[in-house]
Amino acid sequence: MSVTIDLSGKVAIVTGAASGIGRASARLFAQAGAQVLIADRADAVQETLKLIEEAGGTAAARQMDVGDEAEVQALVEEAESRFGGLDIVYANAGVTGGKPGGLFDSDASEWAEVLRVNLIGPFLAIKYAAPKIEARGGGAIVCTASVAGLRSGAGPASYSASKAGVINLVKTAAYQLDGTGVRVNCICPGLIETGMTKPVYDYAREAGKLDKIGQLNPMKRGGEPEEIARAALFLASDQASYINGQALPVDGGLSASHPIAPRGNRGA
């Protein structure tokens, strides 16, 4: 049985593609043969497009706001008009927002913006993409949640709540799309080196504490964008044809346990 992931003939949208997980995923989807429409608010999405094209992939780029309904609708329509349909959406775009653990340091406007991008964005992607994907005979929608959505301690309060919403959203959507052939899942990354986590990594490097990154997970390291991209590729592919409504942690094992005291050296 072959386990090669081949997206030849598939059309995919990847949001948040200007850097980090989105860029890595867009490049990997294109490498697997998909025609990819990449989206982001940042100008750097054009750099991602150039990287894909230089590697021989087929792609187009659109600068847009994933939390704006009209712009999401236009994005989906562009995928159909440019590439002839839509099979896959990776709703990855997100913002951090707020202060770490700052439930009482944030205000309603900050919460509203985080929820607009992180939760309403994936909702809009599902709303407009699912009918197009169903029309092609089925496919996959993947969203980026976070280990912060699984339990406390991994991000600001507004961010954590928005990602918990994404986890429930994919479960709800999977059932509301029953019988359509459209699967909806999400990935819960742990600490990954991206533009969003750059301040954490920069501080660790400046303080000579880079070896402390990821120390709370069993693998004792942070993750790379490509490690999340490979999970997204799998969930988007036919290899994951019986996975639906699930939240997949990709976090080095961080979410596998409640907090425990270090065990120290193992005995003989």
Predicted local confidence at residue 261, as pLDDT: 63
Q: What is the DSSP letter of 236?
A: H
Distance CA 54, CA 77 (A): 26
Residue pLDDT tens, the chain, 268 long: 556 899 999 999 999 999 999 999 999 999 999 999 999 999 999 999 999 999 999 999 999 999 999 999 999 999 999 999 999 999 999 998 766 557 788 889 999 999 999 999 999 999 999 999 999 999 999 999 999 999 887 788 999 999 999 999 999 999 999 999 999 999 999 988 666 655 665 555 666 655 656 577 887 888 899 999 999 999 999 999 999 999 999 988 888 887 766 665 555 4
The residues annotated as belonging to the active site are 159
- What domains are defined for the chain? 11-192+224-250 (3.40.50.720)
Predicted local confidence at residue 2, as pLDDT: 54
Provide the token pair at 236. 């988007």
Question: Per-residue b/e over 243-253, b at no fewer than 16 CB within 10 Å?
Answer: ebbbbbbbbbe
- Taking only Cα atoms into account, the Rg of the chain, rounded to an integer number of angstroms, comes to 18
Alpha helices in 32-156 (DSSP H): 45-54, 69-83, 108-115, 121-135
Distance CA 54, CA 87 (A): 24
Predicted local confidence at residue 212, as pLDDT: 59
Its pTM stands at: 0.91
Residue 23: CB partners within 8 Å, gap ≥ 6?
A: 17, 48, 51, 225
Coil, strand or helix: which one is 212? helix
Predicted local confidence at residue 215, as pLDDT: 72
38 contacts 115 by C-beta, under 8 angstroms: no
Alpha carbon 166 to its chain's center: 10
Q: How many residues does this entry show for the chain?
A: 268
